[in-house]
Amino acid sequence: MKPRLSQRFQFSLAYVLVAAVVLSLLQSWLLAPRTVEIPMSKFLELLRADKIEKVALTDREVRGVAKPDALPATPDGAGDRLRRWLGGDDDLRVFTVTRIPGVDEQSLVRELEQHHVEFTGRIESTFLRDLFFGWVIPLGIMVAIWMFLMRRVGGGPTQALSFGRSKHKIFDRKELKTTFGDVAGVDEAKAELIEIVDFLKNPKKYQRLGGRIPKGVLLVGPPGTGKTLLARAVAGEADVPFFTLSGSEFVEMFVGVGAARVRDLFEQAKDKAPCIIFIDELDAIGKSRAGATGFIGGHDEREQTLNQLLAEMDGFDSSKGVIIMAATNRPEVLDQALLRPGRFDRQVVVDKPDVRGREAILALHARNVVLSPNVDLGVIAARTPGFAGADLANIVNEAALLAARKEKDAVEMADFEEAIDRVVAGLEKKSRVLSDKERDIVAHHEMGHALVATSLPHADPVHKVTIIPRGVAALGMTYQLPTEDRFLLTRSELEDRIAVLLGGRVAEELVYGEISTGAHNDLERASELARLMVTKYGMSERLGLATYGDTTPLFLKGAGFGGEHNYSEATARTIDEEVRAILDRTHDRVCSVLTTKKAVLIAAARELKRIETLEGDALRRALAGEGVTEETRP
């Protein structure tokens, strides 16, 4: 059996052949003498003056060579100089004459014989020219375009045609360096996954008692909580190959391609066992099939891919060491067939971290950052409730960039504060210049929020107040710092939150006697909280313990349908009245609080307008009324 030539050698050989052909054609063109087209009258004149050396007659033209100096010289071009340098004969003048239809052939031959001109006749064949220009060149252009497109689509012509090949990335043991030491803030999830690692390392430990490890592990949690990082850590701890791809990479325009990719993925995984298959964004192919029929319409390719995935999960034995892990932030839309026992029968919740978890995550990402001694990661963790691991990593990175931009030797606490403000509210809009009246309104508005939060027993403490514009529409911000993570809220706490939101609007009413558009976002959030109290939390005496809302299934909502409520028009009117009653009652309470502290409000707003940002001791003094003078008393 002869050894096959390598692909690189084949391409090199093809390039050499093409270059040789091009050079041959170029040389033949350069060495060819110049051709001048002359009319038939000029040709007859030169013939009768004995200035023609030889001619060749065809049925369409007369091609010949004139004697030196018979034809006028033409200016030399670059091609002429190069042809002369290569040895071309520049003394000859080649001409062509287009024959006149109907001219007597015999008379032309007799005249050539009289002037002793050497002549020949040949039948002009256009086969090669027609073949070359009619077939070879067009087909060559089409093949070149096809090759270019195939390389862009699939990385090469052979890969582009392999639609059924899986597009996964595989990391072997040497490339996987992520371990559980690189994951923080999700201790419960790590404890759940330790069993998977232990099984991959010691499968006989479980098999000797007849135990069976789950085939599929589904990681469920909000975006940015570290689901993909956890999956990589499991593979790194177990020291096994790691197959990873996104759910959207299965789905193509052609029906059946996704299913073929699923088959190819599992076949390769079985050859690499023990290993882990990780499918990110599982909901891209695992959505409920209930909405894929009937009048709603669906994607047959996605459904066939899901069917093949279910069949493959039923067809392999987890004792071989192939573990399927998947991640989604929308478990409610997944098909129930995926979640039944024997498939993804274990769900691991990867939730947002609490304050201790956030501090551990910050410490993890700050390992390679030079921190100033005044940096307190516990304070930063307390200031970032609801932040996911990706958000905290972004804060550490932003703080490091800010410190580097200011040419500091270490990242300080002020850099972290600025980074949190950037993530929460956006960049400072220093180019947005407010008038004195607008600055005055914003200052009283923000101090209204701060005073109400300080005066109510269940409101979170105020950390900072600023009137520096940020983001798209924020002209000022009041930052509250929770003392602890809260997972349950009472009615009093919800009402105090609504009161803080209404504090800015009420402050404008008391000071100016009119209102502005600055409270639109506060009113939206307050209205939403009040409506949740009435419809979801059972905190309305008139409506009782029942819950009210939209009953449209999730898959129908995704298809653009909705609006089916589980209450009547009369109940809807009652809901609106109860929401209005909560807002009005809270508004009156806020008016009472700020009316008694109007002098403090005016003095604190004046101080805020002067220095733009109040925090720490300065904020505490302003809220305590230390800046109140006689002119600020009502």
Q: Which helix (H) or strand (E) holds 451?
A: helix 436-455
Q: b/e string for 190-216 if b means 16 or more Cβ within 10 A?
A: bebbeebbebbeebeeeeeeeeebbbb
- Look at residue 565 in the predicted model and tell me its pLDDT: 74
Q: Which helix (H) or strand (E) holds 103?
A: none
Phi, psi (rounded to 5 degrees) for 477: -145, 145
DSSP assignment string, 287-333: B-GGGGSTTS---HHHHHHHHHHHHHHHHS-GGGSEEEEEEES-GGG
Q: Nearest CA to 341 among 210, 195, 218? A: 218
Between CA 214 and CA 40 the distance in angstroms is: 94
Q: b/e string for 447-479 if b means 16 or more Cβ within 10 A?
A: bbbbbbbbbbebbbebbbbbbbbbeeebbbbbb
Mean pLDDT (whole number) for 101-106? 71
Does residue 93 contact residue 30 with C-beta atoms inside 8 Å? Answer: no
- Residue 21 tokens, joined: 């052909």
pLDDT at residue 169 above 80? no
Q: What is the pLDDT of residues 185-205, one digit of tens each?
A: 888 888 888 888 888 777 777
Q: What is the pLDDT of residues 138-166, one digit of tens each?
A: 777 777 777 766 665 444 444 444 544 55
Q: What is the pLDDT of residues 550-604, one digit of tens each?
A: 766 554 555 455 556 778 889 989 999 999 999 999 999 999 999 999 988 989 8
- Look at residue 410 in the predicted model and tell me its pLDDT: 92
Between CA 590 and CA 504 the distance in angstroms is: 10
Catalytic annotation present for 249: no
Q: What is the pLDDT of residues 35-57, one digit of tens each?
A: 778 888 888 888 888 888 888 88
Phi, psi (rounded to 5 degrees) for 29: -75, -40
- Look at residue 133 in the predicted model and tell me its pLDDT: 59
Mean pLDDT (whole number) for 404-431? 83
Task: Tell me which residue has tokens 């599929």.
Answer: 216
Enter the DSSP assignment of 519. G
Q: What is the pLDDT of residues 114-129, one digit of tens each?
A: 888 888 876 555 556 5
- Look at residue 12 in the predicted model and tell me its pLDDT: 56
Between CA 609 and CA 611 the distance in angstroms is: 6
Between CA 616 and CA 64 the distance in angstroms is: 102
Position with higher pLDDT, 563 vs 224:
224
pLDDT at residue 258 above 90? no
Between CA 435 and CA 212 the distance in angstroms is: 70
Between CA 613 and CA 305 the distance in angstroms is: 56
The catalytic position among 446, 495, 508, 578 is 446
pLDDT band at 438 (very low <50, low <70, confident <90, very high): confident
- Look at residue 88 in the predicted model and tell me its pLDDT: 46
Percent of the chain past pLDDT 70, that is, above it, reads 76
- Look at residue 524 in the predicted model and tell me its pLDDT: 93
